[in-house]
Amino acid sequence: MPISVFIVASVVKSVIVLLALLTAVAYTVWLERKVVGHIQNRWGPSRVGPFGLLQPLADGLKFIFKEDLIEPHVYKPLFIAAPMIALIFALTSISVIPFGNSITVDGYSIPLQVTDVNIGLLLILGVTSMGVYGVALAGWSSNNKYSLLGGLRASAQMVSYEIALGLSLIGVLIQSGSFSLRSIVDAQGGHFWGFIPRWNVFHGQIIAFFIYLMAAYAETNRIPFDLPEAEGELGAGYHTEYSSMKFAMFFMAEYANMITVGCLATLLFFGGWHGPLFGPAWMQAILPVLWFGAKVFCFLFLYIWVRGTLPRFRYDQLMSFGWKFLLPLAIANLIGTAIVAVTW
């Protein structure tokens, strides 16, 4: 492929993926308010546009035009940089997510992915881990005891659950033999006994998926692991002193991380874009992307369902669950997967 075509394709894909991600972030908030509203026998957003579909636009305009307050006691450089760090790293991780097969345009094969690297999984784990610096720096730079405690809790959660999360993925790497996300998806093609998909969740990694899901909840600070934002204990946690768009950036980063977690779970455990293909050629070209989007949507719905169902853990319960249950379970799953791989 000529370098000029490669550059144009990369720019177009980057713009499309970024716009799609920001739109998905906005409407994930709408979906959460709707689903939790129905769980609690409420309507949720219903006034702005049909079914409240214009509510994300109204919320965005509200945050843009709200007064941006900066308290005099904060450390201003890091106070301003912290939400930007959180959001930038959250948006960057989507760049290596493949969301479909390659398409052919004017004789050139273009993969449906911003960039394909052989260590895509390691890159995502590294980038998403860096996002906690935004939360930790926000808590410290606010010069507020409650904010500082929220930032420290986020750091402790990341250290505690990142280990179990990483160990849960090694079994998938053993079975696929690659760090490339596209290769991991390709290894999940086909079926068992003609009708069971050869997805990793059905291929001996059901325990790894459970560990990944629990660790992902804690990594993204979502209920029942949202201790850095525990209102009853910390006021609002690490973002207590923030307002306007800086406040919104933290939640944009949180929902972007939710989407990344859903994409990664789909790629690693549920066959990525693999699914039944039918209809004419143009439909078969679109269906893989639709299957991928449908699976990610199911994970987002599960996130929201858990929020509307489970209460928040105590902090000692959160740390005990990570170190005393998830970590030994992840090690046991890794040993079992290795034994099976060597034996078979």
pLDDT of res. 1: 62
Q: Which of 63, 64, 46 is nearest to 55 (CA)?
A: 46
The structural domains of the chain, with segments of one domain joined by +, span 66-343
Q: What is the CA radius of gyration of the chain?
A: 21
Give the integer Cα–Cα distance in Å for 239 and 25: 19
**What phi, psi does 188 have (nearest 5°)?**
-100, 10
Sequence-ordered list of residues with C-beta below 8 angstroms from that of 174, at least 6 positions apart, any chain: 337, 338, 341
Give the integer Cα–Cα distance in Å for 336 and 319: 25
List per-block mean pLDDT (blocks of 10 residues) for the chain, which spans 344 residues. 75 88 91 91 88 91 88 90 91 87 75 82 86 88 88 87 90 86 86 80 89 89 82 78 89 90 92 82 82 92 90 87 92 90 80
CB of 37 closer than 8 Å to CB of 44? yes
Q: Which of 225, 251, 261 is nearest to 33 (CA)?
A: 251
Per the document, the length of the chain is 344
- Write down the pTM of the prediction: 0.90
